Structure 1
Amino acid sequence: MEYRTVGTSGLVVSELGFGAATFGGRGRFFGAWGATDVDEARRMIDICLEAGVTLFDTADVYSDGASEQVLGAALRGRRDDVVISTKAALPTGDGPRDIGTSRARLHRVVDAALRRLDTDRIDLFQLHGFDALTPFDEVVDTLDDLVRVGKIRYTGVSNFAGWQLMGELAAADRRHRVRHVAHQVYYSLIGRDYEWDLMPLGLAEGVGALVWSPLGWGRLTGRIRRGVPLPETSRLHVTADAGPPVDAERLYAIVDVLTEIAEEAGRTVAQVALNWVSSRPTVAGVIIGARTEEQLRDNLSAAGWRLDDDQIRRLDDVSATEVPYPHFPYRRQEAFARLNPPAV
């Protein structure tokens, strides 16, 4: 297992992290992901620790807080061996106090997360989505307060647009507050939008990426292929509409190349897809999830080796998409490309 700093911070995480969205199993959406209880979670964490995983990620909305509770209970007695990441901002109820990142709510949700996780500090606390109703200054001041009293160690965001992240970084700089060090993002061979704005921003501002859904909502496991029905056990039956649309023919073409490379490398399709993401610029950690020990062990085997240059090129080529404006001149025209070289 490789260990990397997150952006230009001193926070060190394992190349692969474990996502605890499968813990708890409350509600139709997260119930489709998994319903791992405390005993099963302890076994999953044992396997992760044996493989060198240090990063464990959750959120207050995962199974209505049950994910944090199960993770905290399963980590009891080994808290100092791991990095705990959690997130808040999304609605946890129907009331006006149940959403957002206002000063009052941030203090409340952090205290609640500490209780559920049964810990005295959160190693990485991330804003789960952008709150357009709370000023940048209020957010960064509050996070700075929480860091100074020791309730959280580092801060980050998730699912922010470039201007939203830059707004908070600029406010933190202007007010001499702690800066975000991480951006938890969707990034995969079938979802490469992260590369256009957010990756260059991460490089310029020292913000590292923690990647969620690196297998494209379960589409890059090798089980979804041309002419084969969606497996009955796939969570896509419930969760597909929650993610970005995927062109079926493009997916099948990518899986074809993944299969070829997996055979060459003696790996599985999922391992190749995870390894590609892990090798990308700014990526500090790739968050994997699993409902079974077999899935977990397979995904953990994506670490400790690297695709060769030709294999990466083939995956880059088959997964490439039309470059959006204003980026296309910088990719298509030599003069623009020399002026502003692409991050990848």
Structure 2
Amino acid sequence: MKYRHLGNSGLEVSEIGLGANSFGMPGRRDRPESEAIVHSAIDHGINFIDTSNVYASGLSEEYIGHALKGRRDEMLIGTKFGSMRRQGPNNFGGSRNFVMRSVEESLSRLQTDYIDVYMIHRPDPRMPIEETLRALDDLVRDGKVRYTAGCNFEAWRLVNAEWTNRKNGFVGLTSSQFAYSMMTRAAEEEMIPACRELGLSVVPYLPLAAGMLSGKVNASGSAPEGTRLSIETGMGDRWITPRNIELVGLLDGWARERGHSVLELAFAWLLAEPIVATVIAGASSPEQIATNAAAAEWVLSADERAEVTAILDANPPDGAGDYYSAAGYFREETQEAPR
């Protein structure tokens, strides 16, 4: 496993990260399975795990805290705040009130006294970003958070946030996390150039397009039972189309001519972009951890990446969508009564 700096910070993260959004989800990873996956990740050199206070209503953080007992210093924890945990006023967003409450709850669930990378899950358009960033700056100064990052920002909001940090002397963001893969490239137009200008790293999520780039979807469009594409019907409807099946076939053929799989190509294509720090990938088993970790060993040349990108340009996928995920509740009137 190789490591890259997160933005301009001194923090070194593994090129492959572990996504923990399935930990605690019904029908997905239970606590023993999650622990086995975390331990396998550590054993394979993966040192960054990505979660949120809303994944499985907090169970993801709880399972991570349990798995890292006695091994906390072997894993960097990135978690998030800002998304809705429950209905009602002051229960989501970027207010100082919610940030300070959220960090204490996450620290408790994670059974730790600090968070390595604390991320704004989604920017809160109802208020100036300065309130959120000032609260994060205080948390870094207090030692409860070591580094900060943005997630699901539009490019202009990210630039505004980092400009606000620099204007006020706040600690700067290290990175921007968003959907980026061979099938989701909208970020290349504005977000990735913005990250280059600001000196921030890119942290892709959904690098396999929810599993479409895993090579597991057959020619008839059937996804294996238990995979995200089969469990989440919306994901399956979005990605499993004749055009996308054909594109994956082309990419798989290109990879196999070079002794690799389309899954390995998905990671290698992202990591051939120097601004990418760590690629967030989920895993359903310790064996899948080994597969993901091995994928980082394939290093594409600039010419090879350009060749693959030409295939993508000539065969635009269905359902690529935006690079960020917006939450509708930020635009709706806050419900006064919990529901």
Q: Identify whether the pair has TM-score above 0.5, normalized to the shorter chain.
A: yes
Q: Is 1:48–2:7 an aligned residue pair?
A: no
User: What whole-Å deviation, never above 9, does each CA across 1:296-336 have from its counterpart, x for those lacking one?
Assistant: 2211211123134454233201222799xxxxxxxxxxxxx
Structure 2 Cα separation of the partners of residues 49 and 231 of structure 1:
27
Q: Please say if residues 217 and 240 of structure 1, whose CA atoms lie closer than 8 Å, have aligned partners that are also in contact.
A: no
Aligned residues of 1:254 and 1:315 also touching (Cα < 8 A): no
- Cα distance in 2, alignment partners of residues 318 and 128 from structure 1: 33
Percent identical across equivalent pairs?
Answer: 34
Amino acid at match of 2:74: D
Q: Within 5 A, what are the aligned runs for 1:22-61?
A: 22-25=22-25, 31=26, 34-37=28-31, 39-61=32-54
Whichever residue aligns with residue 35 of structure 1, its letter is R
TM-score, structure 1 normalization? 0.86
Question: What is the CA-CA distance between 1:211 and the residue it aligns to?
Answer: 1.1
Structure 2 contact 201–276 (Cα < 8 Å) conserved: yes
Task: Tell me, in whole angstroms, the C-alpha distance in 1 between the residues paired with 2:249 and 2:136.
Answer: 45
Give the Å deviation of 1:246.
4.5
Counterpart CA distance in 1 for 2:244 and 2:172 is 37
User: Hey, what does 1:8 align to over in structure 2?
Assistant: 8
Give SS of 1:301's match: helix
Q: Which of residues 58, 65, 77 in structure 2 aligns to 1:72?
A: 65
In the TM superposition, residue 171 of structure 1 has moved relative to its aligned partner by: 1.1
Q: Give the aligned residue type for 1:178.
A: V
1:217-232 paired onto structure 2 within 5 Å: 217-232=210-225
Separation of aligned partners in 2, 1:317 and 1:244: 26
1:231 is displaced (CA, Å) by: 3.1
Question: Which of 43, 56, 59 matches 1:63?
Answer: 56
Trace 1:1-344 onto structure 2 (pairs within 5 A).
1-25=1-25, 31=26, 34-37=28-31, 39-241=32-234, 245-246=238-239, 248-320=241-313
Q: Show structure 2 runs of 5+ residues with no match.
A: 317-339
Structure 1 counterpart of 2:29, one-letter code = A
The Cα shift of 1:252 comes to: 2.3
- 1:241–1:271 Cα change, 3 Å: same
In 2, the alpha carbon distance for the partners of 1:153 and 1:68 equals 18
Could you say if the C-alpha distance between residues 179 and 240 of structure 1 is closer, same or farther in structure 2, counting changes exceeding 3 Å?
A: farther
How many correspondences in the alignment?
316
Shift of 1:130: 1.3
SS in 1 for 2:212: coil
The answer to whether the 8 A contact 1:225-1:255 is kept is: no
Distance (Å, rounded) in 1 between the aligned partners of 2:223 and 2:186 = 25
Greater displacement, 51-60 / 305-314: 305-314
Cα RMSD of the aligned pairs, angstroms, is: 2.1
Query: Aligned with 2:307: secondary structure?
Result: helix
Query: How many Å apart are 1:166 and its aligned residue?
Result: 1.2
In 2, Cα distance between the equivalents of 1:147 and 1:172?
A: 13
Match for 1:107: what amino acid?
Answer: M
Structure 2 CA distance for aligned equivalents of residues 257 and 311 of structure 1: 15
Q: Secondary structure at the match of 1:137?
A: helix
Structure 2 equivalent of residue 341 of structure 1: none
More deviation, 11-20/290-299: 290-299
Going from structure 1 to structure 2, the CA distance change for 1:240 and 1:118 (only over 3 Å counts) comes to same
